[in-house]
Amino acid sequence: MATTATTRLSVDELKETAKRVRANIVKMVAAAQSGHPGGSLSAVELGVSLFWNHLRCNPAEPMWPDRDRFILSKGHATPFLYSLLAERGYFSEELLSGFRTLGSPLQGHPSMHGVPGVEMSSGSLGQGLAFAIGHAVAGRLDNRDYRCWVLMGDGELNEGEIWESAMAVPHFGLGDRIIAMVDRNGIQNDGFADEIMKTDPAAMFRGFGWKVIECDGHDMAAVDAVLGEAEKADDRPRCIVAYTTKGRGVSYMENNPSFHGKAPTGEQLIQALSEIEAGL
């Protein structure tokens, strides 16, 4: 399965795209003085590599029946998703300035009924993998070969529905249709994830019969290679565990639980944009 992009982006081009996506994330949250910057910034490399080099999609035809589905299970990370979709051409970047404002389609949690490219109305955590199972079964029944790429946060791995779904994917033979990704940034809403409920995503998914591929989630070349590896046929479903830093790219947000759902001030925004451009 190949993306509909005419050419793949090089690693350097992916990195420059990631800078623009990060800048839009912090600008959106600062303008709204509301939103979730930390977990949006941590997932940028995964999202950029996926949307440009691996996801079969057509922004000009968002409901193309044979498109791959990108399912954002960690639905509070809408600044990440909206920035990606605007950069990829699903809608005008001008819409980003209205994030979380009255009348804007860009709500705090994504709605599949208002924004092109949104495949799941999410927000309640733990549901994305189960949702992907439904899409995968439908694709098999309809004789379509699209894949479902599911991005989960490590905090939502506390939810039992994730592990019921992890059992179901290999049981129903859906491993060729679903690729899971875990943004392992170590922080959730109430603090550091392992202090709240310790998990080991790689060991746990392996225990349910998945092939687990681990990587540095901010090494763009490694991420791009790992996504390519996950696309290869295997008799097991694939799960990518990407080790990331919450708030990546903005020094005062990095590994700081306060910026799970906190907006930067005007001065902080200036600093953030400077650091993102410099690639600090």
Digit-coded pLDDT (tens) for 89-104: 999 999 999 999 999 9
How confident is the model at residue 5, as a pLDDT? Answer: 47
- Whether residue 149 contacts residue 220, with contact meaning beta carbons closer than 8 Å, is answered with no
DSSP output for 54-96 = T----TTSTT-TTPPEEEESSTT-HHHHHHHHHHHTSS-GGGG
How confident is the model at residue 280, as a pLDDT? Answer: 62
What is the edge-to-edge ordering of all strands in the sheet holding 178-184? Answer: 69-72, 148-153, 178-184, 238-243, 211-216
- Paired sense of beta strands 191-192 and 187-188, if any: antiparallel
How confident is the model at residue 14, as a pLDDT? Answer: 98
pLDDT digits (tens, 9 = 90+) for 21-31: 999 999 999 99
| Protein fold of 11-278 | Rossmann fold (3.40.50)
Domain ranges of the chain: 11-278
Tokens matching residue 191: 């603090």
How confident is the model at residue 1, as a pLDDT? Answer: 38
Any idea what the Cα angle at residue 228 is, between residues 162 and 118, rounded to 5°? 50
Spans of the chain, pLDDT less than 50: 1-3, 5-6
How confident is the model at residue 114, as a pLDDT? Answer: 86
